Structure 1
Amino acid sequence: MTLRVGIVDTTFARVDMARYAIEELRNNDPSVVIERITVPGFKNTPWAAKQLINRGVDAVMVFGWIGPSLTDKITYAVASMGLIMLQIEYDKPIIDVTVHEDEARDERELFDIAVDRSRKHARNLILMLRGELTKWAGMGLRQGRPDVGPIIR
């Protein structure tokens, strides 16, 4: 079965995170079909995700870039709830791949977080859709940062 993955990203982002995710998706499944919609900002992502679901994609990856202000954080929380509601309503996974500008010390670290998070979420999506992600449960995997490993007692 050919997987169809919807990609939603924004012009607000400072890194083309979708580019790295698409590369990772194709490396893990060369037959994957990608449909992409770019919107101005994160508040527009629920609309775009719904468009892609209506086109018949199996899953959607939404790439968000959130500024450091309280307004940005509130906007993210509200739009994120919209994405969660879409998942429930349409029974399709929507992977929220978000970078917050204030989670890094400088632009280099921010870039590295964005690329790592995009690639790892794409890899996880393929594994999840294939039913192969469970073997990684409880392993302390991180997206955007180094893995921390499981706690063993």
Structure 2
Amino acid sequence: MKKIGLTSTTFARYDMAKAARKQIEKQVTGVKFIERYVPGVKDLPVSAKKLIEEEGCELVMAFGMPGGEKIDKLCAHEASTGLIQAQLMTNTHIIEVFVHEDEGINDKDLKELMHNRATQHADNVVKMLFKPDALRKEAGQGIREGREDKGPL
């Protein structure tokens, strides 16, 4: 049984972890989810690291919604750096799923973006853990999560 950690923030305005979990459950069985919630994005690195080291998760998805202000973008960068460091310290993938509050045109667009980014990253998790050859086929295709793909050159 694969263990997948989901860690999310209470600041986010949409439950991306729930959407990702549902997306994974639609595709595979034999997965145990361990969920943790923290106040903000800067709390995600330690939460993810604990899911790996204390709970034995084989992969963690970290969800956050930084605000649109300059200080929020700086905090998101610091959180991203912390997630990268936690990956290197644990030799385990942590899939960062951040949606900045100012990425949406309006609330409806923002919610759709958050859902799409979460579920498309969940699809990547399924590929990473269960279907690694699928990622090889997608290399160089300009695929991105949340919005339309860019496509290959």
TM range (shorter): over 0.9
Q: Mean Cα displacement is larger for which, 5-14 or 136-145?
A: 136-145
State the shift of 1:13 in Å.
0.1
CA RMSD of aligned residues (A): 0.9
Q: Mapping of 1:21-60 within 5 angstroms?
A: 21-54=20-53, 55-60=55-60
Distance 2:105 2:22 in 1: 27
Indicate conservation of the 8 Å contact 2:61/2:95, yes or no: yes
Indicate conservation of the 8 Å contact 2:120/2:145, yes or no: yes
TM-score by length of 2: 0.95
Deviating beyond 4 angstroms after TM superposition, the runs of 4 or more aligned structure 1 residues are: none
Distance 2:99 2:10 in 1: 14
TM-score by length of 1: 0.95
State the shift of 1:66 in Å.
0.8
In structure 2, the partner of 1:75 is: 75
Tell me the SS of whatever aligns to 2:65. strand
State the shift of 1:134 in Å.
1.3
Aligned residue among 141, 144, 148 for 2:143 = 141
State the shift of 1:148 in Å.
2.7
Distance 2:56 2:73 in 1: 31
Structure 2: which 5+ residue stretches go unaligned? Answer: none
2:120 aligned with 1:120, yes or no?
Answer: yes
State the shift of 1:47 in Å.
1.3
Distance 2:29 2:109 in 1: 30
State the shift of 1:87 in Å.
0.5
Indicate conservation of the 8 Å contact 2:46/2:86, yes or no: no
State the shift of 1:120 in Å.
0.4
Distance 1:128 1:47 in 2: 22
Q: Deviation per CA, 1:124-152, whole angstroms, max 9, x where unpaired?
A: 0110123231111111112110223212x
Indicate conservation of the 8 Å contact 2:8/2:38, yes or no: yes
Q: Mean Cα displacement is larger for which, 24-33 or 110-119?
A: 24-33
Q: Deviation per CA, 1:12-36, whole angstroms, max 9, x where unpaired?
A: 0000011110001111112211000
Q: How many residues align?
A: 150
Q: Deviation per CA, 1:40-61, whole angstroms, max 9, x where unpaired?
A: 1111111110110011000000
